[in-house]
Amino acid sequence: MAETKQTNLYDLIHITPNSDGTFTRSPEFYPIVPPETNALSISKDVPLNPDKSTWVRIFLPRQSNKDKKLHIVVYVHGGGFVVGSAANPNYQDFCSYAASQLGALVVSVEYRLAPEHRLPAAYDDVLEALSWVKDGKDEWVKEYGDISSCILMGDSAGGNIVFQSGLMAAVKIDDFKPLNIKGLVLIQPFFSGLDRTGSELRLVNDPVLSLVVNDFFWELSLPVGANRGHEYSDPIKGGGSGSLDWVRDLGWRVWVVSSDGDPLYDRSVELVKLMEKRGLCVKNMFYEGGQHGMFVGNPSTYKAKELVDFVVGIFT
C-alpha cells in the first residue's frame, strides 16, 4: 500500500524512479527548448561546472551596446527543487522578456535537482554561478555585464534558493568581490514549516500546488532525516537566520512578490514581517487572487510585465 501511494505521488509530479536511483522527468510535461534569437534577445548555453553537469543560459538584449554596461540578473527557476529547467519554454520566454525590459544580462542557472542531489546542492550551484559571473569567464558577461549592479531573482523553489544562497553569499561577501550584489527578488518563494498556515489549509487541494504535492517536494529535497522544520524550508523558525543581519548591513534590498490565491502566500507575508522586524530594506507586491506561477511565463498571458516593472526599482 505504501509503495502504491509513493508511486501515485511520483505520478502527480510526472517523474519516474529508475533502478539506479535516478529519476526520469516527463519530457511531455517538462519540455525543453534550445536557446534562440528573437525580437527581444539572443541567448546561449554555457557550461558552469561540467563535473556536476550544471550550466547557464545567458540572455542578451538585442539592442545591447558594449559602451553601455547592463545590469546582471542571476535567475533561478522553480519546480519544487525536483523538476524544471532553465531550458523550459516558460523560462525561455520570461528571461528573454526580462532581459529586454530590464536592460539586463540575464544568467539563468541550470542547477542540480533533488532527490538525486538534495539540498544544499542547488544553493551551492547558485553560489558557484555567482563566482562564475564575478570571474567574467564568458565574453558576454565580460563585455556587456556591469558587475557593480547584480541581483538574484527566482520563482517558487528558485525564490527559496535565491533567499538561502543569498544569505550564504552575504556572510562570505568578500569571496564575490568585485561583484556588487544589490538585492534579492523572491517570486512566490517556496517555503514551509511544521505548522500549517491559513493559505495552505484554505487551498489544500490547489490544482497547481496542492498540500500533498508541496509536502512531497520537501520529502524529496530536504537532507535525509530532516523535516519541514529545517532551516532550509522554514526561514521564520527561531526568529530567522543570523545571516539576515549581514544582508541588512550590506544594504541589500529584498523584494517579495506573491498573491493570496497561492497556497504559499502566508509564508511570504510572514517572511516580509520578519525581515522588516530585523531592519532589512524590504518591499512587497501582493496581489489578490491569482495562482502559484502566475508571474513567470509568456508576457502576453502572465503578469510578467507587472513583475518586471516592480523589479526595476531594485536597481535604483
CATH number at residue 44: 3.40.50.1820
Selecting among 124, 262, 266, 268, the annotated active-site residue is 262
Determine which one of 156, 165, 192, 233 is catalytic.
Answer: 156
Identify the H or E element spanning 287.
strand 281-287
> Count of CB atoms within 10 A of residue 194's CB?
11
Marked catalytic residue, from 71, 77, 117, 292: 292
Sequence-distant (≥ 6) Cβ neighbours of residue 177 within 8 angstroms: 134
Known active-site residue 262:
yes
Q: Could you identify the residue written with the cell 497556497?
A: 263
Bridge pairing between strands 181-187 and 253-259: parallel
The tally of CA atoms less than 13 A away on the side-chain side of residue 197 is: 21
Q: 255 lies in which domain range?
A: 2-315
The confidence score (pLDDT) of residue 7 equals 56
Q: How far apart are CA 100 and CA 312, in angstroms?
A: 12
Active site residue 300: no
- Residue for cell digits 500500500? 1
Contact yes or no for 167/247 (Cβ under 8 A) = yes
Q: At what angle do helices 121-135 and 157-171 cross, to 10 degrees?
A: 60
Q: What is the pLDDT of residue 303?
A: 87
Walk along the chain (316 residues) and give the pLDDT tens digit of each residue. 445 556 589 999 999 999 999 999 999 999 999 999 999 999 999 999 999 999 999 999 998 988 899 999 999 999 999 999 999 999 999 999 999 999 999 999 999 999 999 999 999 999 999 999 999 989 999 999 999 999 999 999 999 999 999 999 999 999 999 999 999 999 999 999 999 999 999 999 999 999 999 999 999 999 999 999 999 999 999 889 999 999 999 999 999 999 999 999 999 999 999 999 999 999 999 999 999 999 997 777 778 889 999 999 999 8
Q: What pLDDT does 302 receive?
A: 77
Whether the Cβ atoms of residue 156 and residue 162 lie closer than 8 Å to each other: no
Q: pTM for the complete prediction?
A: 0.96
Specify whether 292 is catalytic: yes
Q: Please name the amino acid found at residue 208.
A: V
State residue 290's pLDDT score: 93
Please tell me the total count of domains within the chain: 1
